[in-house]
Amino acid sequence: MTIRPTNSPATNFSVALLEEFVRLGVRDIVVSPGSRSQALALAAAEFEKQGMLRLRVRIDERVGAFLALGLAIETGRPVLVVTTSGTAVANLHPAVLEAHHSAVPLIVISADRPDSLRGIGSNQTTHQPGIFGTAAHQTWDVEAPTGAAGEMDAAAKLAREAVAAVSGPVHLNLSFDEPLSAPFTWQPSDNPVSEKTAHQPPGAPTTLALTPAPATVVIAGTGAGPRAEQVARELGAPLIAEVASGSHFGPNLVVAYRELLNTANFGDRVDRVIVFGHPTLSREIPALIQRRGVQTIVVRHPSADDYNPGRCVSRFVDEVSISGEATDRAWLGRWVSASRQLLETDSIAPDIDADAGTHAKSELAIVRTPVDRRMLAEAVWRATWPHDRLVLGASRLIREVDRVVPGKKIPVHANRGLAGIDGTISTALGIALASQEEAGNEGVTRVLLGDLAIFHDVGALMFGVGEPRPRIQVIVGNDGGGTIFDALEVAGQAGASFDRVLLTQQNASIEALAVAYGWRYVFAATRGELDQALSAHPEPTIIEVPLGR
Ligand SMILES: Cc1ncc(C[n+]2csc(CCOP(=O)(O)OP(=O)(O)O)c2C)c(N)n1
Ligand SMILES: [Mg+2]
């Protein structure tokens, strides 16, 4: 289809642009309201009616951009984000940075005034091209369409260029002149639908051949995917896989890696490290890589920077291949069994006097046990299955999950490109919407985060009228502030100033927040209440879990 040209060059250009994006395989668009961007927004609404695009509307551009990030993470396809001019564009910056560091394909389209109206104090007009700095992989500053011949072809060409460059975020700054939009009607076109153009990184990939040898460990950080688990098995090597790596499963998994990396005859014996993805959750991993005599091979993955702690990495490769059988099973066996023992020793089985009563009594005691961080981490993990999604906010709880949960092949996501506490719920809503739109997916998305992280992303809780409400549970471990900072040296030195500027205590009502935004609210202080709250419910739900400092 295409449109009969209208008297608004802005509309003609916008429709041609979106049509080409659809032809190239784009399926999702997030729009925030504004006047200058109305042609794009109205075109998106029409494309939604025709079943050509899935449209999401968010009033807060920061929320909209993180929502788009979540949609792109879940679908693996580029997602369009449309905003008006001015501060609206700047609100996209946090998600654009995260997308840059994690190589997530976002196509940001900002509306602008034409050149003649820039730099003279026009309303809502700033310098937009380049506003995202080096985080935008490419920027186009496009003059306002005037109705000249060939403009719709130019729009289609722009879409093709943007899709070809979208190895991370790209920015299209589009000027529009009045009339800013006009009603339009479709007419059938003979434009055949082509295949999606896949982006190919330049250069031939390098593959390194490895043979199994003792003293090797495989490390998987965010973005590693299941390949790390496979390589660890083929090498017969212990697998240190962070919880959001996509490799936190399998017989080689070593959950208690922090402890073992600090234990004699374990960490100090390692002499070869193979890294996949971006490890961020412990100090022990970068320390290992920087130890003298350790050879580290990093298998590159799409991200802004190659992982290189202390610049001590010996080799960067695109892939590894394994030849030969792992013969010495003792090295692996020691790590795996020591990790199991460590986890069992610290297990949280409640202290119940066996003589004190019947089995029923001890069951009751378990159900009534107050929730602590470990119990919370384990309960959320237990409740989550492959058709579900788990999103972990930055701060203490992701580390707690990483420390204690057993291997399980479930989709886990965390924004670890920059580990911000912003945008967590927005990202999770994008993941939830995208995952649940697949026919037959009955799963639920669970978000586990701290209290400051939920208050940072309150705007995400807003569903405008008519916006779909996915199955999502936001589980807040409420310890009244940023208690991760308690572990820093400054906590013992700064006195009351520490509380004021780092801990930043809050006692806002999460229940009132839930009510205000139309979410179901559950307070879960005991293990029984928590397990019950975590069973799936169709309504978006906030589960508040009180935690001690
Ligand atoms: C956008 C952003 N601002 C600030 C920080 C620094 N920061 C890291 S953790 C944290 C506190 C988080 O508190 P909360 O979500 O309650 O988790 P808790 O540490 O209490 O588990 C802050 C402010 C950050 N990571 N991202
Ligand atoms: Mg907190």
Q: How far is the CA of 281 from the centre of ligand 2 (A)?
A: 17
- What does pTM read for this prediction? 0.95
Q: Which two tokens stand for residue 340?
A: 């199991």
Q: What local confidence, expressed as pLDDT, does residue 358 receive?
A: 72
Q: What local confidence, expressed as pLDDT, does residue 440 receive?
A: 79
What count of other Cβ atoms lies within 10 Å of the Cβ of residue 274?
Answer: 24
Q: What local confidence, expressed as pLDDT, does residue 353 receive?
A: 53
Q: What local confidence, expressed as pLDDT, does residue 199 receive?
A: 44
Tell me whether residue 477 is exposed, middle or buried, using C-beta atoms within 10 angstroms of its C-beta: 0 to 12, 13 to 18, 19 or more.
Answer: buried
Q: What local confidence, expressed as pLDDT, does residue 191 receive?
A: 54
CA distance 1 to 305: 41
CA distance 346 to 293: 32
The H or E element containing residue 504 is none
Q: What local confidence, expressed as pLDDT, does residue 202 receive?
A: 53
CA distance 344 to 369: 19
Q: Which two tokens stand for residue 248?
A: 């936190």
Q: Are 59 and 90 in contact (CB under 8 A)?
A: no
Strand-pair partners of 385? none
Q: What local confidence, expressed as pLDDT, does residue 355 receive?
A: 60
CA distance 151 to 154: 5
Q: Which two tokens stand for residue 155?
A: 């729009």
What count of other Cβ atoms lies within 10 Å of the Cβ of residue 337?
Answer: 11
479 lines ligand 1 (CB under 6 A): yes
Q: How far is the CA of 510 from the centre of ligand 2 (A)?
A: 13
304 lines ligand 1 (CB under 6 A): no
450 lines ligand 1 (CB under 6 A): yes
Q: How far is the CA of 488 from the centre of ligand 2 (A)?
A: 15
Nearest CA to ligand 1 atom 13: 482
Q: What is the mean pLDDT of each run of 10 residues along the chain (549 residues)?
A: 88 98 98 98 97 97 98 97 98 98 98 92 92 97 97 97 97 98 81 45 81 95 97 97 98 98 97 97 98 97 92 96 90 97 75 62 89 97 97 97 98 97 98 91 96 98 97 98 95 93 96 98 98 92 97
Q: What local confidence, expressed as pLDDT, does residue 193 receive?
A: 46
User: Which atom of ligand 1 is nearest the CA belonging to 456?
Assistant: 1
Q: What local confidence, expressed as pLDDT, does residue 301 receive?
A: 92
User: Which atom of ligand 1 is nearest the CA belonging to 451?
Assistant: 16
- Each residue's pLDDT tens digit, 108-166: 999 999 988 888 888 898 999 999 999 999 999 999 999 999 999 999 999 999 999 99
CA distance 468 to 115: 38
Q: Are 42 and 17 in contact (CB under 8 A)?
A: no
CA distance 316 to 411: 27
CA distance 315 to 189: 52
Phi then psi for 513, rounded to 5 degrees?
-60, -45
- Regarding beta strands 186-187 and 139-142, do their DSSP bridges make them parallel or antiparallel, or are they unpaired? unpaired
417 lines ligand 1 (CB under 6 A): no
CA distance 101 to 97: 6
What count of other Cβ atoms lies within 10 Å of the Cβ of residue 461?
Answer: 20
Q: Are 22 and 52 in contact (CB under 8 A)?
A: yes
Q: What local confidence, expressed as pLDDT, does residue 172 receive?
A: 98
- Each residue's pLDDT tens digit, 433-469: 999 998 778 999 999 999 999 999 999 999 999 999 9
> 187-214: string of b/e by CB count within 10 Å (b at 16+)?
eeeeeeeeeeeeeeeeeeeeeeebebbb
Nearest CA to ligand 1 atom 23: 482
Q: Smallest Cα–Cα separation from 80: which of 152, 27, 5, 156? A: 27
Q: What local confidence, expressed as pLDDT, does residue 194 receive?
A: 46
Q: Tell which one of 424, 452, 545 to mutate to probe ligand 1, the residue whose CB is within 8 A of the most ligand atoms.
A: 452
Phi then psi for 311, rounded to 5 degrees?
50, 40
